[in-house]
Amino acid sequence: MSELVSRGRFGRFGGRYVPETLMPALEELEVAYEEARDDPAYHEELAGYLREFVGRPTPLYLAERLSDDLGALRVYLKREDLCHTGAHKINNTLSQVLLARRLGKTRIIAETGAGQHGVATATAAALFGLDCDVYMGEEDIGRQSLNVFRMRLLGARVIPVTSGSKTLKDATNETLRDWTASVRTTHYIIGSVVGPHPFPEMIRDFQSVIGREAREQIIEAEGRLPDACVACVGGGSNSIGLFHPFVEDEDVELIGVEAGGRGLDTEEHGASLTAGRVGVLHGCETFLLYDDDGQIIPAHSVSAGLDYPGVGPEHSHLKDSGRARYVTVEDHDALKAFQKLSVLEGIIPAFESAHAISYLDRLAEETKEAGGMKTVVLCLSGRGDKDVHQAEGFLSEMLDDEEVR
C-alpha cells in the first residue's frame, strides 16, 4: 500500500489537491522531472536553447540615473525583459516543452493572464512543432488583444474562457478541466510557481536561472552580495526565480511586491500574501483571497499578470518563516513608476515589473532615514510593449501637462 504522504511541501504549504484523474499524471511528471534533473543531457540541451534561442544570460544592468534619482540605493536591473518574447516566462515554457517531449506528450495546454505566458508557451510549442491550446479569460482577451494575435500567429489556438470572473483564475480552472480529459496525450504548462506538486518546485528550479546568473553578476560587479533583492509577485515565478539562489544568504533581504490594486481597504487588489488567508486553490495550499464562506474573491490589478487571487506556496512559506517580506504597491503608483523608468533609463517596463520599481521609492526613504546605502538587485521581469496601449489611456494627460510646463 502507498504511504499517505503529502508530497511537495514548503513548510506547511503546497501539496497536491487535485481530482483523482490527475494524480497518476502528476506522479508520472514528478518522476520524469527527477530523471531530467539528474540527466546531464537534459541540462545540456536546455542550456543550448536558453543561450541560442532565449538570449541568456540576460544582463545585470546598473541603473545609474534611477539610482541617483532615488538616492541611497544602487539599483541593478536583472534584464529579463530582454529575453526572447519579452519576459522571463520563456525560461519555464522552454524547459517544460523539453520535458513534455521526454514524456512523449504531443499537445501542450496553458492558461494565460496578460498573455505573456501564453505567448511564451506558443513560442516553445512552435519551436518543436507541438499542438498548443491556450486558455484566456474573455476579460483579458479584451485587455491584451495584441498578445492574442501573437499567439495565433505562432500557431496556437486561443480559447476564450467565459466562466466566473473571466480572468486568469478562471482560465486556470478551464485548463485544469481540459487536462483531466486529455492528460494521456497532453502536458499542462502552468505559467507560475503555483498548482499541484511538482509544478511549484519544478518551475522554481527552471526560473532560478534568473537568480543564479544575478548572483554571479553582482559578485562580479560589486565584489559582494546585494543588500536586497526586489521583485513583483503575482503567482510569484520571477520573484522566486530571483530569490531562491539567495535564500541561504541570510544577510540578503528578499522583498516581494504585490499588487495593491485600488487599495487594501477595498476588495480590489491582488495581495494574497499581505491580505489573504491560508486555503486551497488550483491544487495547492497557500495564501489566498477568499470570503468567510471559502469562496474565492477575484483579484484586481492594473497589471493582468498580477491579477491572481493566490500565490506560489513557496512564497507563503518564505513569508511564514520570515525569510522574505511582502509589500504592496497600488495601481496608481505602479503607473508612475512605469513612466519614471521609461524617462530615466530608456526602459519601458511591464506593468508587473513597474510595481517592483515603484517600491524602490519607499526602500530609498527607509534607507536614507537609517543613514545607510543599499545595493539592490531588482528583477525587471518583462518589457512594457504589451502595456503601452493601456498606458496611453492612463498617462497621456499627465504627459501633456508636463509638456505645457
| Using rule CB under 8 A, residue 102 touches other proteins | no
By CB under 8 A, tell whether 4 contacts other proteins: yes
Q: Using the rule CB under 8 A, which residue among 10, 11, 18, 216 binds other proteins?
A: 18
Among the residue ranges 134-142, 169-177, 267-275, 375-383, the one whose residues contact other proteins (CB under 8 A): 169-177
Give the pairing of strands 228-233 and 374-380: parallel
Please give the Cα distance from 139 to 136 (Å, whole number).
8
Query: Under the criterion CB under 8 A, does residue 107 sit at the interface with other proteins?
Result: no
Catalytic residue among 30, 95, 105, 111, which?
111
Candidate ranges 11-19, 83-91, 98-106, 263-271; the one touching other proteins (CB under 8 A): 11-19
Q: Active site residue: 89, 169, 319, 374, which one?
A: 89
Q: Which residue has the cell 499524471?
A: 25
Contact 234, 204 (CB under 8 A): no
- Strand ranges (DSSP E) for 104-181? 107-112, 131-137, 157-161
Q: Which is nearer to other proteins, 111 or 345 (CB)?
A: 111
Using rule CB under 8 A, residue 190 touches other proteins = no
Phi, psi angle pair for 290, to nearest 5°: -150, 165
Q: Which of 170, 314, 331, 387 binds other proteins (CB under 8 A)?
A: 170
Nearest to 14 by CA among 146, 185, 195: 195
Q: Tell me if residue 89 is catalytic.
A: yes
Spatial distance between the Cα atoms of 318 and 288, rounded to a whole number of angstroms = 15
- What are residue 137's DSSP bridge partners? 161
Query: Among the candidate windows 22-30, 104-112, 202-210, 386-394, which touches other proteins by CB under 8 A?
Result: 22-30
Question: What separation in angstroms does the CA of 95 have from each of 48, 98, 384?
Answer: 11, 5, 24
Q: Which residues have CB under 8 Å from 401's CB, separation 6+?
A: none
Q: Which stretch in 21-29, 127-135, 229-237, 322-330 sits in contact with other proteins by CB under 8 A?
A: 21-29
What's the CA gap between 236 and 317, in Å, rounded? 12
Query: 275-288: string of b/e by CB count within 10 Å (b at 16+)?
Result: bbeebebbbbbbbb
Number of CB atoms found within 10 A of residue 24's CB: 11
Q: How far apart are CA 3 and CA 222, in angstroms?
A: 49
Q: Compare residues 86 and 198 and give the one whose CB is closer to other proteins.
A: 198
Exactly one of 11, 71, 294, 372 binds other proteins (CB under 8 A); which one? 294
Active site residue 111: yes
| 42 lines the binding site for other proteins (CB under 8 A) | no
Q: Annotated catalytic, 237? A: no
Q: Based on the shown chain and the rule CB under 8 A, indicate whether residue 293 belongs to the binding site for other proteins.
A: yes
Q: How far is the CB of 166 from other proteins (least distance, A)?
A: 12
Name which position in 247, 278, 344, 395 contacts other proteins (CB under 8 A). 278
Among 91, 112, 144, 173, binds other proteins (CB under 8 A): 173
**Exactly one of 43, 59, 153, 163 binds other proteins (CB under 8 A); which one?**
163
DSSP label of 253: E
Enzyme catalytic residues = 89, 111, 381
Which spans of this chain sit near other proteins (rule: CB under 8 A)?
1-2, 4-7, 15-25, 163-164, 169-170, 173, 176-177, 180-184, 278-283, 288, 290-296
